[in-house]
Structure 1
Amino acid sequence: MNDRDREQSAPDDQARLVSLLEAAHTDLLTAEQIIAACAEGGFISWGLAESEASEAVRALKYAPSLPPSVDARTPAIPPDDLKILHRLATSATQRLITAAALATDSDDRLACLQAALHAGRLSDALL
């Protein structure tokens, strides 16, 4: 790949990075809200999952490429189902790892990897 090809692919990579960050943020926020709603019933077993979901969302907010507008969005909460929560956590983890590989900014990369760590722990906590 020559310099011109790299310059042309850079905007595409940045757009893909932003798309991955937004999708992962939505997945994690949805999981966090579902878990918080379930935890209101007093089930202490949700504590670890709720903490990891919150930490993943918090870590991702340090990614400079994550648009500020994602905080204003409220995702629709699907029915309470562990399979859905596990799928959200796994999807977010995969997206964040891909985003980290695409990121050229070290702060983006660090935020993605930290969020992926917590999303992975969330996924494990749901098993």
Structure 2
Amino acid sequence: MTHEREHAQVRQTWFTELLATALNDLAHAERVITAFAAQQPDGYIAWGMAEGEATQAHRALRQAPSLQTAAPADQDTADATADALFELAGKVSQSLVRAAELASHPDDKMACLQAALHAGRLREALR
């Protein structure tokens, strides 16, 4: 029984770390895209789809019950480009799929999968 309990605890820790990282990355992407849009004359036309998907992914992930108890603080980094955002969206999407596989609560699984869908769409919008 002890081995099973340790395995479950490791699995839960990994899941929580994946959620926290994805939530921070999505919040960061949302801020950066909004800043890019605000800096260009037609910025909201050029960045609107990406901004919408980043926002939707962030909101979808926030619905995960596991994040209701301990929402992590957003991390901020200054250097971001469209290429970096593209890579970030891909990384977040993969992490969210992994988190969905680890989730034991159906609502956590659904939040992860919905956020992964929007992160994938964000990546497409950044192409």
Q: Same fold (TM over 0.5)?
A: yes
Give the drift of 1:76: 1.5
Alignment size in residue pairs:
123
In structure 2, the residue matched to 1:106 is 106
Deviates most, 85-94 or 106-115 = 85-94
Deviates most, 79-88 or 49-58 = 79-88
In structure 1, the residue matched to 2:29 is 31
In structure 2, the residue matched to 1:90 is 90
In structure 2, the residue matched to 1:120 is 120
Contact 1:86 1:126 in 2 (8 A): yes
Contact 1:56 1:114 in 2 (8 A): yes
SS of the equivalent of 1:104 reads coil
In structure 2, the residue matched to 1:12 is 10
Query: Runs of 5+ in structure 1 lacking a partner?
Result: none
**Counterparts of 1:14-93 in structure 2 under 5 Å?**
14-41=12-39, 42-43=42-43, 44-66=45-67, 67-70=69-72, 73-93=73-93
Q: Percent identity?
A: 42
Cα distance between partner residues in 2 of 1:92 and 1:80: 15
Q: Which amino acid aligns with 2:102?
A: L
Cα distance between partner residues in 2 of 1:78 and 1:97: 27
Give the drift of 1:110: 0.1
Contact 2:23 2:61 in 1 (8 A): yes
Cα distance between partner residues in 2 of 1:78 and 1:87: 16
Give the alignment's TM-score, normalised by structure 2: 0.90
Contact 1:34 1:77 in 2 (8 A): no
Cα distance between partner residues in 2 of 1:74 and 1:24: 10
Q: Which amino acid aligns with 2:76?
A: A
Q: Which amino acid aligns with 2:17?
A: S
Q: 1:9-62: per-residue Cα shift (whole Å, max 9, x none)?
A: 111111110000000111111110000001113411100000000000000011
Give the alignment's TM-score, normalised by structure 1: 0.90
Give the drift of 1:64: 1.2
